Every structure is written in C-alpha cells, then in structure tokens.
Amino acid sequence: MMHYIWMFIVGIIVGAIARFIVPGSEHIGWLLTGVLGIVGSFVGGFIGRLFSKPADGALVHPAGLIMSVIGAIIVLVVYNHLPH
C-alpha cells in the first residue's frame, strides 16, 4: 500500500514539473496531476526501454525522474491537443 502512495506523491511532483513547463495546463487539478506523473513515468520508461534493455525479468524499464518528466510532457502535449 505504501508503494502506491509513494508512487502517487512522486507522480504529483513529476506532473507539477511537466505542468510548469507546458503552457496552457493550469486547468488540471492535483488528482489529474498525479495521474499525469504516473502515466508520464510509464511513457518515459517505454522510451528508456527503446534505448537500453531492462534487467532480466523486469516488465518495465525504470524511468527515473528526468525520463518521467519527459514522458509527462509528451502526455500533456497530447492531452492538450485532444478536443475537450
């Protein structure tokens, strides 16, 4: 259970950094900011997996903070271009 709480806290931080970088994303609340950070981490992990192989038996590549922010920026740009 603590793992999910920690993941959401880091997601809020990553999402907030991405929101700060991408203009026009002030309308997103803190809950969606956390989800943005978590999804961005998975996108960043997928991008990282394209460049290096993850450890044996790992399903996903650990993204790290920088790749998580890059992934969250990508997700936020795509989200901003969707019709609301």
Q: Which of 11, 44, 43, 2 is nearest to 30 (CA)?
A: 11
Rounded CA separation 8/45 (Å) = 16
Per-residue model confidence (pLDDT) at position 59: 64
Q: Which residue has the higher pLDDT, 82 or 77?
A: 77
CA dist 42 and 7 (Å) reads 12
Q: Per residue in 2-55, pLDDT tens?
A: 888 988 999 999 999 999 999 887 788 899 999 999 999 999 988 888 887 767
Could you read off the pLDDT of 47-69 as tens digits, one per residue? Answer: 888 887 767 776 666 678 889 99
Mean pLDDT of 74-81: 91
